Amino acid sequence: MPRRLIGITANDTPGVLQRVSGLFSRRGYNIESITVGPSEKEGRSRMVVAARGDDAVIRQMRSQLLKLIDVLEVVPLEEKPCVSRELMLVKLRMDPAKRSEIQSLADTFRCSVVDVGLDSMIVQVVGDADKNDAFLQLIRPYGLLELTRTGETAMNRGG
């Protein structure tokens, strides 16, 4: 099933995130990532949920989400052109002999080295999930020590 992004606008109240995630769980759908933060309107939050499902599943989830208390809007983001980004921090074992190779890969992917220690380095990667996955696949052989990802956040292009 394709990976889909769903934008949810909700009142910023206690329990709304739990109700949203609980709905996915009750329906047997896995949330691959979820980002939540304040929106442009006071008292409202915006969530972006990444989950797998075909058009019928997404329509069903949209319908069910709109029935939840405090959920105001549900938009399948990929119905229109959208921009999505994810932040990933990757801690790598740093063999001094391989440092220039790692730096070259980071430069190719427009990543930033944000920390360098005696035996490790942390690379910051910002991009869509596919770009981040590609970087991760190439960098793994150098010695992946730790990884953290924010999950995708997204919005539709235009007005």
In order of their start, the domains of the chain are 3-79 (3.30.70.260), 83-156 (3.30.70.1150)
Range in 4-8, 77-81, 110-114 with the lowest mean pLDDT: 77-81
Distances (CA, A) of 82 to 36, 74, 91, 158: 17, 15, 30, 9
25-67 confidence digits (pLDDT tens): 998 888 999 999 999 999 999 999 999 988 888 899 999 999 9
122-131 confidence digits (pLDDT tens): 999 999 989 9
CA distance 84 to 158: 14
pTM across the whole model = 0.83
β-pairing, 112-116 vs 82-93, is unpaired
Q: How many residues does the chain have?
A: 159
The end-to-end CA distance of the chain, in Å, is 30
68: its two tokens = 């939840």
Distances (CA, A) of 71 to 11, 20, 45, 62, 67: 7, 9, 10, 10, 7
80: its two tokens = 């229109």
Question: What pLDDT was estimated at residue 131?
Answer: 94
